């Protein structure tokens, strides 16, 4: 297959269709394209190397070993989509895959000898053919007007069925795969550019979702209670709030289970990342388990997204203390008057002005400490994440009475493991009292001295009066 020859043949066919004024339907169109595309093959046997060229339609007709001189079953798996594709995009993508696999194929000749059959053509024409055909499909002729809504060959380009919310906003979705409402996907389950409608590709491969709807349940099928509990711990670490529902260690509800819904959410997110960041390879498609397939995405999310969110949240919480309302004059006066009175001194207007900023800063420290205490509060997810599942068998019982339980760490052990120390409250009144004791020590001492002298004088007076009474 040479770029120039195939392109010229197809362009001539497109012009002939326009001249006839009666464009073919998609099956007829694909069949004719298969007749025009030639597949050059290099056949290497023990007796030498020869070159042969066959039309794609001939190879798709499944010629036998005696007809070709060798087995060529490699094309069989691609036959359905090369003869009855849902769209021209799907056809070209499948042709790319077939020719890639056909680059070097080990097989057997009609005489039973080992044979290597290799595709010897140039596939660079395929994208050009794709673009030319899709563009031609909506181009008007001198006699008939065509458009994307009224194309020459209906179905040649995969349709997209956007849905609408109650307020008329357009959302997308797939009936077969987990897909978010803001990621454009067509009816052939191909990710597309929402603006142009073009199918998205990465390294010449059409971008397709991976996780099918309903497969979230597969993550739990066949697992023991111990394995389910470990999976629940992994989901809690990934963000599942197990305190928001009736969490039961080692057990899930297959109809309404929050764990299944959360796995479906992760699958949706991972699928959408294929469209957004195809170069990251965030799904391990070869892993034997659902969680194994999700692992690259979970690791990426924890490293990048959660780290950013945590940093952002920390900045917000740190600035929260600076944003609290300053105390009113009445609050300052009440606090200072009470503490001064306890120390036997009287506050003045100058004292209120002096301690206003100090009192305000102490209130901010109180707010910051409250945030620290909140951050260090142990959650159910924290405790479950550190717990260990175990099985117990009552003495003399058979395996049918095997019980599953959970060893839960103490609060002290959990705080030590998570680096969440138990913090005390910040008492503004106590701290302000300490500052007053330091700043007003002279006045306080003088007040104490005066109070002591007054007490001594009063005691002397009492003693003298008692003396006079006795005398």
- State the pLDDT confidence band at 389, using cuts at 50, 70 and 90: low
- Look at 325 and 331; give whichever has higher pLDDT: 331
Cα–Cα distances in angstroms (integers) from residue 48 to residues 44, 102, 195, in the given order: 6, 19, 53
Lowest mean pLDDT among 231-235, 310-314, 379-383: 310-314
- Look at 367 and 35; give whichever has higher pLDDT: 35
> Does residue 395 surpass a pLDDT of 90?
no
Strand partners, 42: 51, 118
Count of alpha carbons within 13 angstroms of residue 73, beta-carbon side: 6
- Look at 122 and 17; give whichever has higher pLDDT: 17
In the chain, % of residues over pLDDT 90: 6
Cα–Cα distances in angstroms (integers) from residue 172 to residues 38, 184, 206, 213, 420, in the given order: 39, 5, 18, 15, 43
Q: The tokens 């109650």 sit on which residue?
A: 166
What tokens appear for 245 in the block?
A: 């529902």
pLDDT tens-digit series, residues 353-362: 888 888 888 8
pLDDT tens-digit series, residues 92-115: 888 888 887 777 778 777 777 788
- Look at 264 and 128; give whichever has higher pLDDT: 264
pLDDT tens-digit series, residues 261-297: 889 889 999 999 999 988 888 999 888 888 899 999 9
CA triple 306-312-317, angle to 5 deg: 120
* Residue 192, number of CB atoms within 10 A of its CB: 22
- Look at 384 and 397; give whichever has higher pLDDT: 384
Average pLDDT, rounded, for the chain: 79
Burial track 298-326 (b if 16+ CB lie within 10 A, e otherwise): bebbeeeeeeeeeeeeeeeeeeebeeeee
pLDDT tens-digit series, residues 190-228: 898 887 778 899 888 889 999 988 788 888 877 888 888
Burial track 382-403 (b if 16+ CB lie within 10 A, e otherwise): bbbbbbebeeeeeeeeeeeeee
- State the pLDDT confidence band at 320, using cuts at 50, 70 and 90: low
> Does residue 399 surpass a pLDDT of 50?
no
Count of alpha carbons within 13 angstroms of residue 90, beta-carbon side: 23
Q: Which of 275, 271, 269 is nearest to 304 (CA)?
A: 269
- State the pLDDT confidence band at 188, using cuts at 50, 70 and 90: confident
> Does residue 117 surpass a pLDDT of 70?
yes
Q: The tokens 């994307």 sit on which residue?
A: 148
| Alpha-carbon dihedral 70, 74, 79, 81, rounded to 10 degrees | -150
- State the pLDDT confidence band at 161, using cuts at 50, 70 and 90: low
Domain residue ranges in the chain: 3-136, 441-471
pLDDT tens-digit series, residues 401-431: 555 566 767 777 777 887 888 888 888 888 8
pLDDT tens-digit series, residues 38-72: 888 888 887 788 888 888 888 888 887 778 777 77
- The pTM assigned to this predicted structure is 0.46
């Amino acid at each position: 297959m040479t770029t120039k020859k195939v392109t010229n043949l197809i362009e001539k066919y497109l012009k002939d269709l326009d001249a006839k004024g009666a464009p073919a339907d998609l099956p007829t169109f694909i069949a004719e394209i298969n007749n025009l595309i030639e597949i050059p093959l290099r056949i290497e046997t023990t007796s030498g190397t020869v070159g042969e060229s066959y039309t794609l339609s001939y190879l798709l007709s499944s010629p036998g070993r005696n007809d070709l001189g060798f087995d060529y079953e490699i094309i069989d798996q691609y036959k359905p989509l090369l003869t009855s594709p849902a769209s021209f995009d799907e056809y070209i993508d499948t042709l790319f895959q077939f020719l890639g696999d056909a680059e070097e194929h080990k097989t057997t000749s009609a005489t039973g000898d080992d044979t290597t059959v290799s595709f010897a053509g140039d596939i660079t024409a395929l994208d050009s053919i794709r673009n030319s055909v899709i563009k031609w499909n909506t181009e008007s002729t001198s006699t008939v007007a065509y458009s994307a809504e009224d194309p020459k060959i209906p179905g040649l380009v995969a349709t997209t069925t956007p849905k609408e919310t109650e307020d008329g906003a357009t959302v997308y979705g797939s009936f077969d795969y987990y897909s978010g409402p803001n990621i454009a996907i067509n009816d052939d389950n191909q990710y597309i550019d929402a603006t142009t409608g073009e199918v998205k590709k990465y390294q010449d491969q059409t971008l397709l979702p991976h996780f099918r709807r309903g497969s979230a349940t597969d993550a739990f099928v066949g697992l023991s209670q111990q394995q389910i509990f470990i999976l629940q711990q992994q989901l809690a670490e990934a963000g599942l709030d197990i305190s928001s529902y009736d969490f039961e260690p080692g057990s899930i509800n297959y109809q309404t289970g929050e764990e299944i819904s959360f796995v479906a959410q992760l699958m949706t997110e991972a699928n959408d990342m294929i469209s957004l960041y195809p170069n990251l390879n965030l799904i391990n498609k070869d892993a034997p388990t659902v969680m194994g397939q999700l692992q690259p995405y979970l690791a990426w999310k924890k490293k990048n997204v959660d780290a950013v969110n945590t940093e952002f949240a920390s900045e917000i919480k740190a600035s929260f203390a600076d944003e609290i309302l300053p105390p009113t004059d009445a609050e300052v006066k009440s606090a200072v008057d009470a503490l001064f009175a306890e120390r036997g001194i009287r506050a003045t207007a100058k004292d209120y002005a002096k301690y206003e900023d100090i009192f305000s800063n102490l209130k901010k420290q109180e707010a910051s400490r409250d945030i620290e205490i909140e951050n260090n509060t142990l959650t159910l997810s924290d405790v479950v994440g550190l717990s260990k599942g175990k099985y117990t068998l009552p003495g003399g019982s058979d395996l049918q009475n095997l019980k599953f339980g959970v060893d839960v760490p103490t609060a002290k052990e959990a705080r030590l493991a998570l680096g969440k120390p138990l913090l005390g409250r910040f008492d503004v009144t106590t701290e302000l009292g300490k500052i007053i004791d330091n700043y007003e020590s002279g006045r306080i001492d003088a007040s104490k001295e005066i109070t002591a002298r007054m007490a001594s004088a009063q005691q002397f007076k009492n003693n003298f009066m008692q003396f006079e009474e006795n005398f």
